[in-house]
Amino acid sequence: MTPAARVAAAIEVLDRHLGGEAAEAALTGWARANRYAGSGDRAAVRDLVYDALRCRRSYAVMGGALTGRGLMLGHCAAQGIDPGNIFTAERFAPAALAEAERGPRAAPEGLDALDCPDWIAPLLETALGEDFAPVMASQRHRAPLFLRVNAARATRPEAAAALAAEGIATVPRHESNYALEVTENARKVASSLAYLHGVVEVQDLSSQCAVEALPLPEGGRVLDYCAGGGGKLLAMAARAPANFVAHDVDPRRMHDLPARAERAGVAVRLAEPGKAPRGQDLVLVDAPCTGSGTWRRTPEAKWRLTPARLAELTALQAKILAEAQQFVAPGGVLAYMTCSLLAEENETQVARFIANHPDWHLAESRRFSPLSGGDGFFMAIFRRKT
Protein backbone atom coordinates (compact mmCIF):
# COMPACT_ATOMS: atom_id res chain seq x y z
CA MET A 1 0.00 0.00 0.00
CA THR A 2 1.15 3.52 -0.76
CA PRO A 3 1.31 6.13 2.02
CA ALA A 4 -1.83 7.70 0.55
CA ALA A 5 -3.67 4.36 0.58
CA ARG A 6 -2.72 3.83 4.20
CA VAL A 7 -4.11 7.27 5.09
CA ALA A 8 -7.33 6.45 3.23
CA ALA A 9 -7.61 3.23 5.23
CA ALA A 10 -7.02 5.12 8.49
CA ILE A 11 -9.78 7.58 7.53
CA GLU A 12 -12.19 4.68 7.04
CA VAL A 13 -11.28 3.11 10.39
CA LEU A 14 -11.46 6.43 12.25
CA ASP A 15 -14.89 7.22 10.81
CA ARG A 16 -16.14 3.83 12.00
CA HIS A 17 -14.68 4.50 15.44
CA LEU A 18 -16.13 8.01 15.65
CA GLY A 19 -19.47 6.45 14.74
CA GLY A 20 -19.35 4.37 17.91
CA GLU A 21 -17.29 1.30 17.06
CA ALA A 22 -14.32 0.34 19.26
CA ALA A 23 -11.00 1.12 17.59
CA GLU A 24 -9.78 -2.49 17.66
CA ALA A 25 -13.06 -3.75 16.21
CA ALA A 26 -12.89 -1.15 13.45
CA LEU A 27 -9.30 -2.12 12.63
CA THR A 28 -10.21 -5.80 12.58
CA GLY A 29 -13.19 -5.15 10.33
CA TRP A 30 -11.06 -3.16 7.89
CA ALA A 31 -8.35 -5.86 7.82
CA ARG A 32 -10.88 -8.62 7.11
CA ALA A 33 -12.41 -6.64 4.26
CA ASN A 34 -8.97 -5.84 2.80
CA ARG A 35 -7.04 -9.08 3.00
CA TYR A 36 -4.58 -7.86 0.38
CA ALA A 37 -3.02 -5.66 3.06
CA GLY A 38 0.17 -7.20 4.42
CA SER A 39 1.33 -7.17 8.02
CA GLY A 40 3.40 -4.04 7.44
CA ASP A 41 0.40 -2.24 5.98
CA ARG A 42 -1.85 -3.31 8.86
CA ALA A 43 0.72 -2.12 11.38
CA ALA A 44 1.10 1.22 9.59
CA VAL A 45 -2.67 1.80 9.46
CA ARG A 46 -2.94 0.88 13.13
CA ASP A 47 -0.21 3.37 14.02
CA LEU A 48 -1.96 6.13 12.08
CA VAL A 49 -5.26 5.40 13.85
CA TYR A 50 -3.80 5.30 17.35
CA ASP A 51 -1.64 8.37 16.79
CA ALA A 52 -4.81 10.20 15.73
CA LEU A 53 -6.68 9.01 18.82
CA ARG A 54 -3.88 10.14 21.14
CA CYS A 55 -3.98 13.57 19.50
CA ARG A 56 -7.66 13.64 18.57
CA ARG A 57 -8.41 17.14 19.81
CA SER A 58 -5.32 18.87 18.38
CA TYR A 59 -5.53 16.98 15.06
CA ALA A 60 -9.19 17.97 14.70
CA VAL A 61 -8.24 21.63 15.16
CA MET A 62 -5.41 21.42 12.64
CA GLY A 63 -7.48 19.33 10.22
CA GLY A 64 -10.60 21.44 10.48
CA ALA A 65 -13.03 18.69 11.55
CA LEU A 66 -13.52 15.83 13.98
CA THR A 67 -13.82 13.25 11.21
CA GLY A 68 -11.48 10.62 9.90
CA ARG A 69 -10.47 12.94 7.08
CA GLY A 70 -10.04 15.90 9.43
CA LEU A 71 -7.85 13.85 11.78
CA MET A 72 -5.62 12.67 8.95
CA LEU A 73 -5.32 16.25 7.66
CA GLY A 74 -4.31 17.18 11.20
CA HIS A 75 -1.80 14.34 11.18
CA CYS A 76 -0.23 15.73 8.02
CA ALA A 77 -0.02 19.20 9.56
CA ALA A 78 1.52 17.87 12.78
CA GLN A 79 4.10 15.80 10.91
CA GLY A 80 4.98 18.47 8.37
CA ILE A 81 3.63 16.38 5.47
CA ASP A 82 2.27 18.19 2.42
CA PRO A 83 -1.36 16.98 2.30
CA GLY A 84 -1.39 17.66 -1.43
CA ASN A 85 0.87 14.62 -1.84
CA ILE A 86 -1.59 12.40 0.07
CA PHE A 87 -5.07 13.71 -0.78
CA THR A 88 -4.76 13.25 -4.54
CA ALA A 89 -7.90 11.29 -5.54
CA GLU A 90 -5.61 8.86 -7.33
CA ARG A 91 -6.23 5.12 -7.02
CA PHE A 92 -6.74 4.14 -3.34
CA ALA A 93 -5.86 7.69 -2.20
CA PRO A 94 -8.25 10.00 -0.32
CA ALA A 95 -10.31 12.53 -2.29
CA ALA A 96 -8.45 15.60 -3.47
CA LEU A 97 -8.19 18.61 -1.20
CA ALA A 98 -11.08 21.05 -1.22
CA GLU A 99 -10.24 24.72 -1.39
CA ALA A 100 -11.14 25.16 2.28
CA GLU A 101 -8.64 22.43 3.20
CA ARG A 102 -5.71 24.19 1.58
CA GLY A 103 -3.45 26.66 3.29
CA PRO A 104 -2.12 26.93 6.85
CA ARG A 105 -4.18 26.01 9.89
CA ALA A 106 -4.31 27.69 13.29
CA ALA A 107 -2.15 25.98 15.88
CA PRO A 108 -4.06 24.34 18.75
CA GLU A 109 -3.86 26.08 22.12
CA GLY A 110 -4.69 25.28 25.74
CA LEU A 111 -6.49 21.99 26.29
CA ASP A 112 -6.66 21.51 22.51
CA ALA A 113 -2.87 21.41 22.40
CA LEU A 114 -2.74 19.02 25.37
CA ASP A 115 -5.46 16.75 23.96
CA CYS A 116 -7.28 16.79 27.27
CA PRO A 117 -11.08 16.60 27.69
CA ASP A 118 -12.53 19.74 29.30
CA TRP A 119 -14.36 18.09 32.19
CA ILE A 120 -11.41 16.13 33.55
CA ALA A 121 -8.78 18.85 33.24
CA PRO A 122 -9.50 20.43 36.68
CA LEU A 123 -9.26 17.02 38.36
CA LEU A 124 -5.95 16.28 36.67
CA GLU A 125 -4.59 19.73 37.48
CA THR A 126 -5.44 19.20 41.15
CA ALA A 127 -3.79 15.77 41.18
CA LEU A 128 -0.69 16.63 39.14
CA GLY A 129 -0.02 20.24 40.05
CA GLU A 130 2.76 21.77 37.97
CA ASP A 131 3.23 18.44 36.18
CA PHE A 132 -0.23 18.65 34.59
CA ALA A 133 0.86 20.09 31.24
CA PRO A 134 4.03 17.96 30.87
CA VAL A 135 2.16 14.77 31.78
CA MET A 136 -0.68 15.47 29.36
CA ALA A 137 1.84 16.28 26.65
CA SER A 138 3.57 12.96 27.29
CA GLN A 139 0.25 11.15 26.87
CA ARG A 140 0.12 12.34 23.26
CA HIS A 141 2.99 10.01 22.32
CA ARG A 142 3.32 6.27 21.90
CA ALA A 143 4.32 4.36 25.03
CA PRO A 144 7.67 2.55 25.13
CA LEU A 145 7.61 -1.24 25.33
CA PHE A 146 8.94 -2.60 28.61
CA LEU A 147 9.75 -6.20 29.42
CA ARG A 148 10.08 -7.87 32.80
CA VAL A 149 12.84 -10.44 33.01
CA ASN A 150 11.59 -13.59 34.69
CA ALA A 151 14.08 -14.09 37.52
CA ALA A 152 13.00 -17.74 37.71
CA ARG A 153 14.38 -18.26 34.19
CA ALA A 154 17.27 -15.86 33.60
CA THR A 155 19.26 -12.87 34.78
CA ARG A 156 18.70 -9.53 33.11
CA PRO A 157 21.97 -9.68 31.09
CA GLU A 158 21.10 -13.22 29.96
CA ALA A 159 17.64 -12.13 28.84
CA ALA A 160 19.02 -9.09 27.01
CA ALA A 161 21.54 -11.31 25.20
CA ALA A 162 18.83 -13.79 24.20
CA LEU A 163 16.70 -10.99 22.77
CA ALA A 164 19.67 -9.44 20.99
CA ALA A 165 20.37 -12.78 19.29
CA GLU A 166 16.93 -12.41 17.67
CA GLY A 167 17.52 -8.82 16.62
CA ILE A 168 15.63 -7.20 19.51
CA ALA A 169 17.64 -4.41 21.13
CA THR A 170 17.00 -3.48 24.76
CA VAL A 171 18.44 -1.32 27.51
CA PRO A 172 18.14 -1.97 31.25
CA ARG A 173 16.13 0.49 33.33
CA HIS A 174 17.66 1.51 36.64
CA GLU A 175 14.26 1.97 38.31
CA SER A 176 13.70 -1.79 38.43
CA ASN A 177 15.91 -4.82 38.97
CA TYR A 178 14.18 -6.73 36.17
CA ALA A 179 13.07 -4.15 33.58
CA LEU A 180 14.28 -3.89 29.99
CA GLU A 181 13.13 -1.21 27.57
CA VAL A 182 12.89 -2.35 23.96
CA THR A 183 14.64 0.10 21.65
CA GLU A 184 14.55 -1.82 18.35
CA ASN A 185 12.20 -4.35 16.76
CA ALA A 186 9.45 -4.23 19.38
CA ARG A 187 7.07 -6.10 17.09
CA LYS A 188 9.36 -9.15 17.14
CA VAL A 189 8.97 -9.67 20.89
CA ALA A 190 5.75 -11.69 20.81
CA SER A 191 7.29 -14.29 18.47
CA SER A 192 10.73 -14.38 20.07
CA LEU A 193 12.04 -17.48 21.84
CA ALA A 194 12.77 -15.41 24.93
CA TYR A 195 9.08 -14.55 25.19
CA LEU A 196 7.73 -17.95 24.16
CA HIS A 197 9.99 -19.72 26.68
CA GLY A 198 9.00 -17.44 29.57
CA VAL A 199 12.30 -15.60 29.89
CA VAL A 200 10.53 -12.24 29.53
CA GLU A 201 6.99 -10.92 29.94
CA VAL A 202 5.53 -7.65 28.71
CA GLN A 203 4.94 -5.42 31.73
CA ASP A 204 5.02 -1.66 32.12
CA LEU A 205 7.89 -0.11 34.03
CA SER A 206 5.72 1.56 36.69
CA SER A 207 3.83 -1.67 37.32
CA GLN A 208 7.12 -3.52 37.74
CA CYS A 209 8.42 -0.94 40.22
CA ALA A 210 5.21 -1.10 42.26
CA VAL A 211 5.28 -4.89 42.46
CA GLU A 212 8.93 -4.86 43.52
CA ALA A 213 7.99 -2.56 46.39
CA LEU A 214 5.53 -5.08 47.85
CA PRO A 215 6.67 -6.84 51.05
CA LEU A 216 6.51 -10.43 49.83
CA PRO A 217 6.18 -13.04 52.61
CA GLU A 218 8.64 -15.77 51.61
CA GLY A 219 6.87 -19.07 52.00
CA GLY A 220 3.68 -17.25 52.96
CA ARG A 221 0.25 -16.80 51.40
CA VAL A 222 -0.42 -14.24 48.66
CA LEU A 223 -3.78 -13.44 47.09
CA ASP A 224 -4.25 -11.33 43.97
CA TYR A 225 -7.90 -10.40 44.49
CA CYS A 226 -8.50 -8.73 41.09
CA ALA A 227 -6.00 -10.80 39.14
CA GLY A 228 -7.19 -10.26 35.57
CA GLY A 229 -4.45 -11.63 33.31
CA GLY A 230 -2.23 -12.19 36.33
CA GLY A 231 0.81 -10.18 35.28
CA LYS A 232 1.49 -8.78 38.74
CA LEU A 233 1.02 -12.18 40.39
CA LEU A 234 3.51 -13.73 37.97
CA ALA A 235 5.97 -10.95 38.77
CA MET A 236 5.63 -11.70 42.48
CA ALA A 237 5.92 -15.44 41.96
CA ALA A 238 9.20 -14.97 40.08
CA ARG A 239 10.71 -13.12 43.05
CA ALA A 240 10.12 -15.45 46.00
CA PRO A 241 8.57 -18.83 46.80
CA ALA A 242 5.09 -18.55 48.30
CA ASN A 243 1.56 -19.90 47.98
CA PHE A 244 0.08 -17.73 45.21
CA VAL A 245 -3.67 -17.59 44.55
CA ALA A 246 -5.40 -15.66 41.77
CA HIS A 247 -9.02 -14.52 42.07
CA ASP A 248 -11.24 -12.45 39.83
CA VAL A 249 -14.96 -11.81 39.79
CA ASP A 250 -14.87 -12.69 36.08
CA PRO A 251 -12.87 -15.93 35.69
CA ARG A 252 -12.66 -15.41 31.92
CA ARG A 253 -10.07 -12.73 32.56
CA MET A 254 -7.78 -15.40 34.04
CA HIS A 255 -8.20 -17.77 31.10
CA ASP A 256 -4.58 -17.50 29.95
CA LEU A 257 -3.04 -17.40 33.42
CA PRO A 258 -2.37 -21.16 33.86
CA ALA A 259 -0.53 -21.31 30.53
CA ARG A 260 1.43 -18.17 31.34
CA ALA A 261 2.37 -19.52 34.75
CA GLU A 262 3.55 -22.80 33.23
CA ARG A 263 5.60 -20.91 30.65
CA ALA A 264 7.13 -18.81 33.43
CA GLY A 265 7.90 -21.86 35.57
CA VAL A 266 5.89 -20.70 38.60
CA ALA A 267 2.97 -22.21 40.50
CA VAL A 268 -0.30 -20.26 40.75
CA ARG A 269 -3.68 -21.54 41.94
CA LEU A 270 -6.94 -20.11 40.63
CA ALA A 271 -9.80 -19.49 43.09
CA GLU A 272 -13.42 -19.53 41.98
CA PRO A 273 -15.30 -16.20 42.05
CA GLY A 274 -16.43 -15.42 45.59
CA LYS A 275 -14.27 -18.21 47.05
CA ALA A 276 -10.99 -16.43 47.74
CA PRO A 277 -9.11 -17.96 50.68
CA ARG A 278 -8.89 -16.10 53.98
CA GLY A 279 -5.85 -15.74 56.21
CA GLN A 280 -3.56 -14.30 53.56
CA ASP A 281 -0.26 -12.63 54.44
CA LEU A 282 -0.53 -10.28 51.46
CA VAL A 283 -3.64 -9.34 49.50
CA LEU A 284 -3.23 -7.26 46.36
CA VAL A 285 -6.10 -5.19 44.97
CA ASP A 286 -5.23 -4.06 41.45
CA ALA A 287 -8.47 -2.16 41.20
CA PRO A 288 -10.62 -1.42 38.15
CA CYS A 289 -10.00 2.23 37.33
CA THR A 290 -10.21 4.91 34.65
CA GLY A 291 -6.81 3.89 33.27
CA SER A 292 -5.93 7.57 32.94
CA GLY A 293 -2.27 6.71 33.47
CA THR A 294 -2.32 4.44 30.41
CA TRP A 295 -3.84 6.80 27.85
CA ARG A 296 -0.77 6.49 25.63
CA ARG A 297 -1.73 2.83 25.05
CA THR A 298 -5.51 3.15 25.38
CA PRO A 299 -6.22 6.60 23.93
CA GLU A 300 -9.88 6.00 23.09
CA ALA A 301 -10.55 5.53 26.83
CA LYS A 302 -9.60 9.18 27.37
CA TRP A 303 -12.44 10.37 25.15
CA ARG A 304 -15.04 7.86 26.35
CA LEU A 305 -14.60 8.46 30.07
CA THR A 306 -17.43 10.41 31.71
CA PRO A 307 -18.05 11.86 35.19
CA ALA A 308 -20.71 9.20 35.73
CA ARG A 309 -18.27 6.41 34.91
CA LEU A 310 -15.68 7.90 37.27
CA ALA A 311 -18.28 7.91 40.07
CA GLU A 312 -19.12 4.26 39.33
CA LEU A 313 -15.47 3.29 39.47
CA THR A 314 -14.69 5.06 42.73
CA ALA A 315 -17.71 3.39 44.38
CA LEU A 316 -16.56 0.02 43.05
CA GLN A 317 -13.01 0.57 44.29
CA ALA A 318 -14.24 1.33 47.81
CA LYS A 319 -16.42 -1.79 47.74
CA ILE A 320 -13.56 -4.02 46.57
CA LEU A 321 -11.17 -2.68 49.20
CA ALA A 322 -13.74 -3.31 51.93
CA GLU A 323 -14.15 -6.89 50.68
CA ALA A 324 -10.46 -7.61 50.22
CA GLN A 325 -9.39 -6.54 53.72
CA GLN A 326 -11.40 -9.45 55.13
CA PHE A 327 -9.01 -11.93 53.55
CA VAL A 328 -5.88 -10.53 55.24
CA ALA A 329 -4.44 -12.47 58.16
CA PRO A 330 -3.61 -10.68 61.44
CA GLY A 331 -0.36 -8.82 60.89
CA GLY A 332 -0.77 -9.07 57.14
CA VAL A 333 -0.63 -6.49 54.39
CA LEU A 334 -3.27 -5.06 52.03
CA ALA A 335 -1.91 -3.44 48.86
CA TYR A 336 -3.97 -1.18 46.60
CA MET A 337 -2.96 -0.23 43.06
CA THR A 338 -4.44 1.70 40.16
CA CYS A 339 -3.14 2.85 36.78
CA SER A 340 -4.85 6.19 37.36
CA LEU A 341 -3.58 9.76 37.64
CA LEU A 342 -6.65 10.98 39.54
CA ALA A 343 -6.65 11.70 43.27
CA GLU A 344 -10.27 10.55 43.41
CA GLU A 345 -9.08 7.01 42.68
CA ASN A 346 -5.86 7.22 44.66
CA GLU A 347 -5.28 9.44 47.71
CA THR A 348 -8.98 10.13 48.24
CA GLN A 349 -9.73 6.42 48.06
CA VAL A 350 -6.99 5.70 50.60
CA ALA A 351 -8.36 8.33 53.00
CA ARG A 352 -11.87 6.90 52.63
CA PHE A 353 -10.66 3.39 53.42
CA ILE A 354 -8.80 4.53 56.54
CA ALA A 355 -11.81 6.53 57.71
CA ASN A 356 -14.12 3.53 57.28
CA HIS A 357 -11.65 0.96 58.67
CA PRO A 358 -9.88 2.49 61.68
CA ASP A 359 -8.14 -0.81 62.45
CA TRP A 360 -5.91 -0.20 59.43
CA HIS A 361 -3.19 2.39 58.85
CA LEU A 362 -1.36 3.54 55.75
CA ALA A 363 2.23 2.28 55.77
CA GLU A 364 3.30 3.69 52.41
CA SER A 365 1.93 5.31 49.27
CA ARG A 366 3.63 6.24 46.05
CA ARG A 367 2.80 7.79 42.70
CA PHE A 368 4.60 6.83 39.50
CA SER A 369 4.66 9.52 36.82
CA PRO A 370 4.53 9.06 33.05
CA LEU A 371 7.38 11.57 32.99
CA SER A 372 9.63 8.76 34.24
CA GLY A 373 8.86 6.67 31.18
CA GLY A 374 6.26 4.20 32.43
CA ASP A 375 2.54 4.58 32.92
CA GLY A 376 0.91 6.80 35.49
CA PHE A 377 0.45 4.50 38.47
CA PHE A 378 -0.41 4.56 42.17
CA MET A 379 0.34 2.19 45.02
CA ALA A 380 -0.70 2.17 48.68
CA ILE A 381 0.27 -0.36 51.34
CA PHE A 382 -1.93 -0.79 54.42
CA ARG A 383 -1.18 -2.68 57.62
CA ARG A 384 -3.64 -3.67 60.25
CA LYS A 385 -3.10 -1.97 63.60
CA THR A 386 -2.05 -4.25 66.44
Q: Are 145-203 and 213-384 in the same CATH fold?
A: no
Q: Are 264 and 15 in contact (CB under 8 A)?
A: no
CATH superfamily membership of 145-203: Sun protein; domain 3 (3.30.70.1170)
Going by C-alpha positions, the residue among 210, 258, 149, 230 that lies closest to residue 372 is 210
Average pLDDT over residues 173-184: 97
pLDDT at position 103: 83
Percent helix, strand, coil in the chain, to 5, is 50, 15, 35
Q: List the catalytic residue out of 55, 76, 226, 339.
A: 339
Mean pLDDT, the chain, integer? 96
Binned at pLDDT 50, 70 and 90, residue 142 comes out as very high
Does 386 score more than 90 pLDDT?
A: no
Residue 318 CA to residue 322 CA, distance in Å, equals 6
pLDDT in the model for residue 166: 97
Q: Do 234 and 301 form a contact (C-beta atoms < 8 A)?
A: no
Instruction: Name the CATH topology of 213-384.
Output: Rossmann fold (3.40.50)
What confidence category does residue 30 fall into, taking pLDDT thresholds of 50, 70 and 90? Answer: very high
The pLDDT of residue 29 is: 96
Beta strands 377-384; 280-286: pairing state:
unpaired
Predicted pLDDT of residue 243? 96
Percent of the chain with pLDDT over 90: 95
- The model's confidence at residue 319, banded by pLDDT at 50, 70 and 90, is very high
Report the C-alpha gap between 140 and 75 in whole angstroms.
Answer: 12
Q: Is 339 a catalytic residue?
A: yes
Mean pLDDT of 276-285: 97
**Extents of the domains making up the chain:** 3-112, 145-203, 213-384
Tell me, what's the pLDDT at 106? Answer: 85
